[in-house]
Structure 1
Amino acid sequence: MGEISGYQLGVMGALFLSVASSVSIVICNKALMSNLGFQFATTLTSWHLMVTYCSLHVALRLNFFENKPIDLKTVILFGMLNGVSIGLLNLSLGFNSIGFYQMTKLAIIPFTVLLETIFLNKQFSQKIKFSLSILLLGVGIASVTDLQLNFVGTILSLLAIITTCIGQILTNTIQKKLNVSSTQLLYQSAPFQSAILFVTGPFVDQFLTNQNVLYYKYSPLVVGFIVLSCLIAVFVNFSTFLVIGKTSPVTYQVLGHLKTCLVLAFGYTLLHDPFTSRNIVGILIAIVGMGMYSYFCTNETKRKVIVDVSTMPQMKERDTTPLLASHLQDKESKDSVV
C-alpha cells in the first residue's frame, strides 16, 4: 500500500508540475507575442527544445539520471513525428480561425480514444466516455467562438490531430515497452525534435507572419522573456513526458483542457482579457467533466488494484499445489519401493 500511495503522490506531483508550468508559459508567451510583437512560435519552440536538451545533458553529467540508449531509428522517427505535429498545429492556427483551431484540439481526445481502442485493444468504460463528453462540451462552450472552414486549414488540422495523437500514444508506449523513464526518452528525442523545428521554423513563421525571425529587433526585454520562456519550457517538456508516461495520452489531454480553462481565467484576472457568461458556464461544465473523469478513473484503478491483490493468493495457491502434490507422490512412490 505504501508503494501505491507513493505512486499516486508521484502522479499528483507530475500533474501539478504540468499544469503550473503550462499555464506559466502560456502567460509568458502571450506577453511575448501579443505585447512585445515576437510572433515566431515555431522557432521559439525549437529554442525551447534546445534548452531542454542542454539542461538534461547537464543533469546527466551531474548524475541526476542515467542515460539509457534507445534504438536510433525509433528515436529519430519519434522525434521527427513530434516536431512535425508541433509545426502542423501552428500551421493549423495560421490557416484557421481561433474557433476551428480549438475544435481541432478538442478532437484529439476522441481520436486518441479511437486509436487506442482499435490498435491497442484498450477498453474505455461508458462512464469514462460520458465524463469526457461533458468535458469536451464545457471546453467547447468556453473556448470555441467562430467556425470558419477552408479546405487547406481542414487538411492541416486533420494532419495535426493524427500526428499529435500518434506522438502521444507512442510517448506512453515507448516508455512502457522499452522500460525507459520520461527523462531518458526526452533526452534521447529532444535533439531531433529541436532540429526539425529549427530548420523549418523560420520558414513556417515567415509564411504565417510575413516577418523574418533573423531581422527582428531584439530588445533586452524581449530577450529576457525569451530566456524565461525557454526555462519554463524545460519543466513543460519534462512534465509532458512524465504525465503521459505515468498516466495515459487521454488523461494528458484532459489535463490540457484544464490548462485551457485556467488560462482563460488567468487571462481575465491578470491580463484583463474579455470574459463573458458563456466562458464562465463553459468552464464550470468542463470542471464538472474533469471531476467526473478523475472520480471514475480513480474508482476503476482502485477496483483493478483490489482484483489484482485478491487474485495473488489464488495464483500462489495454484503455483504451490502441484509442487506439493508431486512431492507427496514422490514420497509415496519411494515408500512403496522400500
Structure 2
Amino acid sequence: MGEISGFQVGVIGALFLSVASSVSIVICNKALMSNLGFPFATTLTSWHLMVTYCSLHAALRLNFFDSKPVDIKTVVLFGILNGISIGLLNLSLGFNSIGFYQMTKLAIIPFTVLLETLFLKKQFSRKTKFSLSILLLGVGVASITDLQLNTVGSILSLLAIVTTCVGQILTNTIQKKLNVSSTQLLYQSAPFQAAILFVSGPFLDQCLTNQNVFAYKYSPIVLGFIVLSCLIAVFVNLSTFLVIGKTSPVTYQVLGHLKTCLVLGFGYTLLHDPFTTRNIVGILIALVGMLLYSYFCSVETKRKQDGDVSSLSQVREKDTTLLLLSHENENSKKPLV
C-alpha cells in the first residue's frame, strides 16, 4: 500500500509540474513572440531541447540520476520522430487557420485512443469515452473560431496528428518495456530532437515568417526572455515524459486541454486578451469533462488495484495451504513410536 501511495504522490507531482511549467512557458513565449516580435517558434524549440539536454547532463554528473544505456537505434528513431512531430505542428499552425489548428490538436485524443485500441489492445470504457467527448466539445467551443481548409494545411495537420500520437505512445511504451525512467529517456533522446529542429528550424521559420532568425537584432530584454523560456522548457520537457510514463498518452492529452483552458483564463486576466461568453461556456464544459475523466480513471484504477490485491491474497492463501499440506504429509510419513 505504501508503494501505491508513493506512486499516486508521484503522479500528482508530475501533473502539477506539467501544468505549472506549461502555462508559464506559454505566457513567456506569448510575451516573447507577440509583444517583443520574436516569431521563430521552431528554432526556439531547438534551443529548449539543447538547454534541456545540457541541464540533464549536469544533473547526471552531479549524480541526481543514473544513465541507463538504451538501444541507440531506438533512441535515434524516437528522437527524430518527436522532432519531426514538433516541426509538423508548427507548420500546421503556419499553413492553417487558428480554428483548424485547434481541431488538429483535438483530433490527437481520439486518434491516440484508436491506435492504442488497435495495436496495443487497450480497452477504454464507455464512461471514459463519454467524458473525453465532453472534454473535446468544451475545448472546441472555447477555442475554435473558424475552419478554413486548404490542401497543404490539411496534409500537414494529418501528418502532425499521426507523428504526435505515435511519439507519445512510444514514450509510454519505451519507458515500460525497457524499464527506463522519464529522465533517462529524455536525456538519451533530447540531442536527436534538438539536432533535427536546429537544422530544420531556421528554414521552417523563414518559410512561415519571411524573416531570418540569424538576421534578427537581439535586444537584452529579448535575450532575457529567451533564457527564461529555455529554463522553463527544462521542466516542461521533463514533466511531459513523467506524465506520459506514469499515466498514459491519453491522460497527457487531457492535461494538455486543461492547460489550454488555463492559458485562455490567464491570457484574459494577465494579458487582457479578448474573452467572450462562448469562451467561458466552453471552459466550463471542458472542466466537467476533465472531472468526469479523472473520476472514471480513479474508479477503474481502484478496481484494478483491488483486483490485484485480491489475486495476491488468493496466491498467498494457496501457498499457505500447499505448505500446510506438505507439512501434514511429512508428519504422516514419520514412523509411529
TM-score, with length taken from structure 1: 0.97
The structural deviation recorded for 1:317 is 2.5
Alignment-mate amino acid for residue 44 of structure 2: L
Q: Report the Cα distance in structure 1 between the residues aligned to 2:237 and 2:318, rounded to whole angstroms.
A: 46
Task: Specify the alignment match of 1:74 in structure 2.
Answer: 74
- The 5-angstrom pairing of residues 56-205 of structure 1 reads 56-205=56-205
Q: Report the Cα distance in structure 2 between the residues aligned to 1:320 and 1:6, rounded to whole angstroms.
A: 29
Q: Report the Cα distance in structure 1 between the residues aligned to 2:224 and 2:135, rounded to whole angstroms.
A: 36
The structural deviation recorded for 1:310 is 1.5
Cα offsets for 1:37-74 (capped at 9, x unmatched): 11110000000000000000000000001110100000
Q: Report the Cα distance in structure 2 between the residues aligned to 1:326 and 1:3, rounded to whole angstroms.
A: 33
Q: Secondary structure at the match of 1:213?
A: coil
Q: Report the Cα distance in structure 2 between the residues aligned to 1:283 and 1:121, rounded to whole angstroms.
A: 32
Q: Report the Cα distance in structure 1 between the residues aligned to 2:310 and 2:329, rounded to whole angstroms.
A: 30
Identity %: 83
Q: Report the Cα distance in structure 1 between the residues aligned to 2:90 and 2:310, rounded to whole angstroms.
A: 49
5+ residue gaps, structure 2, are: none
Q: Secondary structure at the match of 2:217?
A: coil
Alignment-mate amino acid for residue 12 of structure 1: I
Number of residues of Structure 1 aligned to a counterpart in Structure 2: 337
5+ residue gaps, structure 1, are: none
The structural deviation recorded for 1:10 is 1.2
Task: Specify the alignment match of 2:305 in structure 1.
Answer: 305
Cα offsets for 1:133-175 (capped at 9, x unmatched): 0000000000001000111111110100000001000101111
The structural deviation recorded for 1:7 is 1.4
- The 5-angstrom pairing of residues 229-308 of structure 1 reads 229-308=229-308
Q: Report the Cα distance in structure 2 between the residues aligned to 1:315 and 1:119, rounded to whole angstroms.
A: 31
Cα offsets for 1:199-247 (capped at 9, x unmatched): 0001110011111101011111110000000000000000000011111
Q: Secondary structure at the match of 2:39?
A: coil
Q: Report the Cα distance in structure 2 between the residues aligned to 1:321 and 1:210, rounded to whole angstroms.
A: 77
